[in-house]
Amino acid sequence: MRAGLILLCLAYVLSQFFRAFLAVLSGPLERDLGATPDDLAFASGLWFLVFAAMQIPVGWALDRVGPRRTAAVLLLIGGGGGAALFAVATTPLHVSLAMALIGVGCAPVLMASYYIFARQFPPARFATLAALMLGVGSVGNLVASYPMAFAAETGAEPAMEDMRSRWPGARFVEDPGALRADVDAAFDRTGEARVHLIGAPFQIKVWEALITIPSGQVTTYSELACAVGNPRAVRAVGTAVGRNPVSWLIPCHRALRKSGGLGGYHWGLPVKRALLAWEAARDEA
């Protein structure tokens, strides 16, 4: 029974993941499937609707066939089937149907756990076990937010889309050998990397100021405004930093708010956190 509870706990983590992951994947789903925010809101709402509607039949099944069969069958058909459908989805409708199936699969997890707690453990331990289940389940929300966001925002296709939007008339050719010297200069700090930039004079001035910030150190938008000779242009400096077209070589990730907050980042805040952490670790080594 304890092994079954562990599996139910893991399933509950997964159910919490499914509650939140659509918001993180909104960008890729829009690019790949043409899913609009309304489509994703409908799919997410469908998950909650099905999840709620299933509680009555789940309760009936728990009383008559027990938690093991109830959870196993619904997780297999709903959770497995929904995940498989989501993986091969080609339209927003497929996403909605997948979320409905996943709602079916997630429905018995928490109730089955409570059923076992009430039947197999002393009443004095029920609240502790229920709280433990809810607390561990929150890991699913964390997995759906930070790692998923990082993966969604750092893949090759989003980077290529960004390049195509900036250079719509260009023809892109993959040639790792030709870029080797630039890669070494960027990450190993050996040699020199040349960058062709297009921007307004003020933007280029801000980008040049960013290059002077040493690795492992940070600055603020206010300090950058002073560095370019216009202390009152903090907002304009922030806009220029956000429009930096070259990540890493022009280290806009080293610009923070005066309060110490991360501010924004064109390639996503998870990437900004990772870059700052990597630089700090490398420079301390």
Structural domains in the chain, sorted by start: 2-151 (1.20.1250.20), 195-284 (1.10.10.10)
Provide the pLDDT for residue 139: 62
Chain segment 178-199, per-residue pLDDT in tens: 878 777 777 776 667 777 788 8
Among the options 9, 106, 226, 252, which is catalytic?
A: 252
Beta bridge partners of 255: 219
Query: Whole-prediction pTM value?
Result: 0.52
The beta strand positions in 165-248, using DSSP E, are: 219-220
For residue 207, the model assigns a pLDDT of 92
When pLDDT is averaged across residues 93-113 and rounded to a whole number, the result is 89
Strand partners, 66: none
Rounded mean pLDDT, 246-274 = 83
What are the backbone dihedrals phi and psi of residue 219, each rounded to the nearest 5 degrees, phi first? -140, 180
Over range 202-223, report the average pLDDT: 91
Contact 85, 97 (CB under 8 A): yes
Q: Is the per-residue pLDDT at 90 higher than 60?
A: yes
Q: What is the pLDDT of residues 44-79, one digit of tens each?
A: 889 889 989 999 999 999 899 988 889 889 888 888
- Cβ density class 85-104: b for 16+ within 10 Å, e for less: bbeebeebebbbbbbbbbbb
The residues, ordered by sequence, that sit 6+ positions from 72 with a Cβ below 8 Å of its Cβ are: none
Most confident of 25-39, 111-125, 213-227: 213-227
Can 252 be counted among the known catalytic residues?
Answer: yes
State the average pLDDT for the chain.
81
Band the pLDDT of 121: cuts 50, 70, 90. confident
**Least confident stretch, 35-44, 75-84, 172-181, 187-196:** 187-196
Mean pLDDT value across residues 193-206 = 85
Least confident segment among 115-124, 166-175, 265-274: 265-274
| Position 144 pLDDT exceeds 50 | no
Percent with pLDDT over 90 in the chain: 18
Mean of the pLDDT values across residues 31-43? 81
Sign (positive/negative) of CA torsion 66, 68, 71, 72? negative
Burial pattern 107-119, b for ≥16 Cβ within 10 A else e, equals bbbbbbbbbbbee
